[in-house]
Amino acid sequence: MTANTAAREQARLAIEAQRDRLVALSHRIHATPELGFEEVLASGWLAEELSEAGYSVEHPAFGLDTAFVARRGGGSLHIAICAEYDALPGVGHACGHNIIATAALGAAIGLGGLADDADLTVSVIGTPAEERGNAGGKIVLLERGAFDGMHAALMVHPHPLDVLSPAMSAAALFDVYYEGKEAHAAAWPWLGINAADALVVAQTSIGLLRQHIDPTERIHGIVTKGGDAPNIVPAHTSARYMARSLRIEALQALQDRVVRCFEAGALATGSTLRIEGGDKPYAQVEHDPGLAAIYARNATALGRKFVNLDRPSGSTDMGNVSLAVPSIHPFIGIESLPAVNHQPEFTAACITPPADQAVLDGAVAMAWTALDLAYDGDERMRLVGTP
């Protein structure tokens, strides 16, 4: 038996020994959904579990109250395992971040006692506010040095199906504010400046623009304030919008076109326009082919069957990490169809037996991938520069 074979089996047994504990934590996070940068309970629970597993934990970390870094081992190959744990407004854990968090914890448990023998440093990075859409937690952590010195970054994300290297678009989120002038909507409407009409013009323009953008691009949003009363000409309205393109290089051009639609609303109505955000967009995910191939081999050995998707599958701030550190962001299936991400039905599916199995399989596949990187001289040389 080789050293890697023995280590892989030891990691699997360590994770399976904690199965009930991992599933219980996944369900607990699911039952207490917290929005981005407010994940006090989830980040605290994960930090406590990692400390009990022998990791040195910094929590809070890098100036973010709900971020943490847990580290074990002092090896020359430094692997980051990313944990997400924020929820969505209204629909809770409809993207299954409870699964992401506990799979990361499970991988850490599997690797902890093996890190030094494998010449590994393992860091679990608790990354808040992935769902934020602009200046997400990983972007802030990148800027503040949380990923400095890392040689590879791993995470798994729940999905109806297993997908090895899903296309994840670049995305920008921004808030739009119009200011007009109030007036009595029946007696003196001509004295008002209708900021709600400005939004109507902008949204109509965006609807027409959609015919002339690339089929892989997306523009979508919501009205966050439409006015105060039907008998008052609305003087203050706002919206939150996202633009997505396959690559960050093309995103700015699309975003500029969308902004011009909002400018049209202001011009047509005489309202003033203010736009905030969109300055720290999410990049596309660049899956490292070598890491992906190793993960695919390990996930397949656990019975996972990958499918191909021929369209973009959302966006994530893990894309920004992937431009700085060799990374993977595979989807791990939870057998939820017809329910898909960001639906209430998907929320319910994230604590079913297939979802619980995804926690275990994701943990084992990531732990095995880290060990394969540690014991494969060619991969270690590629990532670290030394065998």
Q: What is the pTM of this model?
A: 0.94
**pLDDT single digits (tens) 293-337:** 999 999 999 999 999 988 888 999 999 999 999 999 999 999 999
Residues contacting residue 239 through CB under 8 Å, at least 6 positions apart: 175, 176, 199, 202, 203, 221, 222, 223, 224
Calpha distance 68→39 (Å, rounded): 11
Query: Which helix or strand (DSSP H or E) is residue 274 part of?
Result: strand 272-277
Domains of the chain: 3-168+285-384 (3.40.630.10), 170-277 (3.30.70.360)
Pairing mode of beta strands 236-245, 218-225: antiparallel
Residues contacting residue 148 through CB under 8 Å, at least 6 positions apart: none
**pLDDT single digits (tens) 139-174:** 999 999 999 999 999 999 999 999 999 999 999 999
**pLDDT single digits (tens) 235-268:** 999 999 999 999 999 999 999 999 999 999 999 9
- Say what the pLDDT of residue 385 is: 84
Residue 214, classified by CB atoms within 10 Å of its CB into exposed (0-12), middle (13-18) or buried (19+), is exposed
Average pLDDT over residues 72-90: 97
**pLDDT single digits (tens) 179-238:** 999 999 999 999 999 999 999 999 999 999 999 999 999 999 999 999 999 999 999 999
Contact 91, 343 (CB under 8 A): yes
